[in-house]
């Protein structure tokens, strides 16, 4: 084995997972990355808030922390009042179409700085036609969970999704609304099973000592929600690992004995192998720029929709008081062939500070309606439903003359019908647990807005043009491994990041 270092491109969840696997094999690793970090002023603000007990935060302190998120530009997501983690559409796309909601990241840790931290393995039935199985991924789910905290418990989802057992795990305490709903769902387990509906407590990548301060969606002041930058900090302590922020790859070329990467600053870097995990947009840009004639790459999306529901029971205490978190509280899986041949995944969110604002913005045209809508928000529980990519739109990417991407939509004519069937089944099932689903107010997300997107260079046992092999090597290449969601053969409905990390760790472990 050569002792020349391998190159990992990107410091997001896939990049750190592959780097962990390579270091475990005794390899040396250079990680190239955009490397943007939270600005010093924002970090000082975060540290100051974290230095005080949440019990001492009054309404003004909370409002001040949340205000920058409400002022975010259209299509952007902020954390800690900063835009460091998400590139604006125009930075990645030439003439960005209004319908396209996916964004790239050049931050240390990538888009994991923004994610909702939901963690689930894939189901074997949903990857039955892949060249790998859940048994192939299982040891890598476990390896990833050595550095990715997974909060949760063994429950009714274990039989449906056995790829990562939850025995020995501890949950973070659900909000009171979620506790009440979970009790009702558990009581109705038999009747829900007849609908093909299975429910359990959400699993999150959050440390078990969560302070339950309720500011999850604005940036955890205590840094308890895992992000890939946390693991990057550990990697940098290894003498065999080198990190190069600000090193943006523009294209690559392979020779018989090396892969050469061209960087934005005009320099080049060669290595025996490169592991490309820059996120599906940046990865597509690099691949297209490296192909003679460019061509086209097609992303597969996991369409999602929001279904608001009103609880019929009374809250013992206002849900916006006391201690709680605002990450997904419960998972509901719809395993019903008459709805979809694949699992439909739903994440249930109880009260958060966005609800009243959204209700008032959409329905509060008369002054006296604001108090009523605020009261309604305290009874609101929202399900975010995800479909398999077979039922979702596709997004074709090509290279613009200036090096950015252009995007066009290939709409799936079946998406609306499948979403309607899934929301109808969810509404019927949740009615058994004391929720009234407002189907008239259900709202589909824009293409790409789920951020569960990929499968643009799908793995296959015998890959053809435009595909990749079991180790993520695009057809015709032997030294480049795709380790982000680009190499997945499809996008199942359940949460994407955990499986992308497991697959990246698998590739890093097995790459010859």
* Residue 12 · residue 111 · CB < 8 Å: yes
Q: Would you state the structure tokens that stand for residue 238, as one six-digit string?
A: 């290894």
Q: In the predicted model, is pLDDT for residue 361 greater than 90?
A: no
Check residues 363 and 179 and name the one with the higher pLDDT.
179
Task: Please tell me the distance from the alpha carbon of residue 150 to that of residue 497, in angstroms, as a whole number.
Answer: 12
Q: In the predicted model, is pLDDT for residue 367 greater than 80?
A: no
DSSP of 446-473: PTTTT--EE-SS-B-SS--TT-B-TT-P
* pTM score, whole prediction: 0.96
pLDDT in tens, 157-180: 999 999 999 999 999 999 999 999
pLDDT in tens, 48-82: 999 999 999 988 999 999 998 888 888 899 999 99
Report the pLDDT value the prediction gives residue 359, as an integer from 0 to 100. Answer: 86
DSSP of 235-271: HTTSTTEEEEET--EEEEEE-SS-EEEEETTS-EEEE
Confidence grade of residue 3 (pLDDT, cut at 50, 70, 90): confident
Percentage of residues of the chain with pLDDT beyond 70: 100
Confidence grade of residue 1 (pLDDT, cut at 50, 70, 90): very low
35: left (phi over 0), alpha (psi -120 to 50) or beta: left
pLDDT in tens, 224-252: 999 999 999 999 999 999 999 999 999 99
> Please, what is the average pLDDT of the chain?
95
| Mean pLDDT score, 258-279 | 97
pLDDT in tens, 396-412: 999 999 999 999 999 99
Location of structure tokens 């025995």:
167
Q: E-assigned strands of 274-379? A: 274-276, 296-301, 304-311, 330-334, 344-349
> How deeply is 76 buried, as exposed, middle or buried, from its count of CB atoms within 10 A (0-12, 13-18, 19+)?
middle
* Residue 141 · residue 132 · CB < 8 Å: no
CA distances from 332 to 201, 282, 497 (A): 9, 32, 18
Residue 284 contacts by C-beta under 8 Å, 6 or more apart in sequence?
A: 297, 299, 397, 405, 456, 486
Residue 390 contacts by C-beta under 8 Å, 6 or more apart in sequence?
A: 341, 342, 490
> How deeply is 436 buried, as exposed, middle or buried, from its count of CB atoms within 10 A (0-12, 13-18, 19+)?
middle
Q: In the predicted model, is pLDDT for residue 4 greater than 90?
A: no
Domains of the chain: 6-510 (3.50.50.60)
| Mean pLDDT score, 31-55 | 96
> Quick check: helix, strand or coil at residue 72?
coil
> How deeply is 118 buried, as exposed, middle or buried, from its count of CB atoms within 10 A (0-12, 13-18, 19+)?
buried
* Residue 274 · residue 479 · CB < 8 Å: yes
Confidence grade of residue 338 (pLDDT, cut at 50, 70, 90): very high
Task: Please tell me the distance from the alpha carbon of residue 423 to that of residue 418, in angstroms, as a whole number.
Answer: 9
Report the pLDDT value the prediction gives residue 2, as an integer from 0 to 100. Answer: 54
pLDDT in tens, 280-332: 999 999 999 999 888 999 999 999 999 999 999 998 889 988 899 999 999 99
Question: In this predicted structure, which of 297-306, 365-374, 429-438, 439-448 has the lowest mean pLDDT?
Answer: 365-374
pLDDT in tens, 75-115: 899 999 999 999 999 999 999 999 999 999 999 999 999 99
> Quick check: helix, strand or coil at residue 359?
helix
Tallying the residues shown for the chain, one arrives at 512
| Mean pLDDT score, 18-47 | 97
Q: Would you state the structure tokens that stand for residue 97, as one six-digit string?
A: 């179409």
Q: Which of 478, 459, 482, 484 is nearest to 470 (CA)?
A: 459
* Residue 205 · residue 114 · CB < 8 Å: no
Confidence grade of residue 437 (pLDDT, cut at 50, 70, 90): very high
Report the pLDDT value the prediction gives residue 504, as an integer from 0 to 100. Answer: 98
Beta strands 197-201 and 330-334 are antiparallel
| Mean pLDDT score, 7-12 | 98
């Amino acid at each position: 084995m050569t002792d020349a270092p391998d190159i990992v491109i990107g410091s997001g969840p896939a990049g750190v997972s592959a780097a962990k696997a390579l270091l475990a094999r005794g390899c040396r690793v250079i990680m190239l990355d955009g490397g943007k970090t939270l600005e010093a002023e924002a970090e000082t603000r975060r540290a100051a808030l974290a230095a005080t007990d949440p019990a001492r935060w009054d309404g003004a302190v909370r409002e001040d922390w949340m205000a920058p998120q409400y002022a975010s530009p259209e299509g952007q997501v902020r954390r800690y009042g900063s835009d460091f983690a998400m590139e604006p559409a125009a930075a990645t796309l030439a003439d960005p179409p209004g319908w396209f909601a996916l964004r790239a990241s050049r931050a240390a840790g990538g888009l994991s700085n923004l994610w909702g931290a939901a963690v689930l393995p894939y189901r074997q039935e949903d990857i039955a036609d892949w060249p790998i199985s859940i048994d192939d991924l299982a040891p890598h789910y476990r390896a990833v969970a050595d550095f990715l905290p997974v909060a949760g418990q063994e429950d009714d989802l274990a039989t449906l999704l056995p790829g990562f057992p939850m025995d020995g795990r501890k949950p973070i305490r659900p909000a009171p609304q979620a506790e009440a709903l979970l009790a009702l769902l558990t009581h109705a387990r038999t009747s829900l099973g007849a609908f093909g509906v299975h429910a359990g407590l959400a699993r999150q990548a959050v440390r078990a000592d969560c302070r339950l301060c309720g500011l999850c969606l604005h940036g955890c002041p205590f840094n308890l929600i895992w992000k890939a930058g946390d693991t990057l900090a550990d990697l940098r302590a290894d003498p065999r690992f080198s990190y190069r922020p600000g090193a943006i790859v523009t294209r690559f070329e392979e020779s018989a004995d090396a892969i050469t990467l061209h960087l934005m600053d005009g320099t080049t870097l060669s290595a025996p192998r490169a592991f490309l995990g820059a996120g599906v947009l940046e990865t597509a840009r690099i691949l297209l720029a490296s192909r003679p004639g460019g061509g086209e790459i097609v992303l597969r999306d996991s369409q999602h929709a929001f279904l608001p529901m009103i609880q019929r029971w009374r809250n013992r205490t206002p849900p916006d008081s006391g201690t709680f978190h605002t990450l997904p509280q419960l998972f509901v899986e719809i395993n019903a062939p008459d709805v979809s041949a694949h699992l439909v995944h739903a994440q249930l969110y109880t009260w958060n500070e966005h609800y009243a604002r959204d209700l008032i913005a959409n329905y509060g045209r008369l002054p006296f309606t604001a108090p009523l809508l605020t009261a309604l928000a305290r009874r609101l529980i929202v399900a975010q439903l995800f479909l398999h990519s077979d039922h979702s739109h596709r997004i074709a990417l090509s290279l613009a003359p200036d090096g950015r991407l252009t995007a066009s939509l290939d709409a799936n004519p079946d998406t609306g019908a499948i979403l309607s069937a899934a929301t109808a089944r969810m509404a019927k099932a949740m009615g058994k647990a004391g929720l009234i689903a407002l189907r008239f107010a259900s709202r589909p997300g824009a293409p790409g807005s789920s951020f569960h997107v990929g499968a643009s260079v799908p793995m296959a046992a015998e890959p053809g043009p435009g595909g990749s092999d079991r180790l993520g090597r695009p057809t015709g290449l032997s030294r480049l491994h795709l380790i982000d969601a680009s190499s997945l053969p499809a996008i199942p409905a359940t949460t994407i990041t955990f499986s992308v990390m497991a697959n990246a760790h698998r590739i890093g472990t097995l790459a010859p």
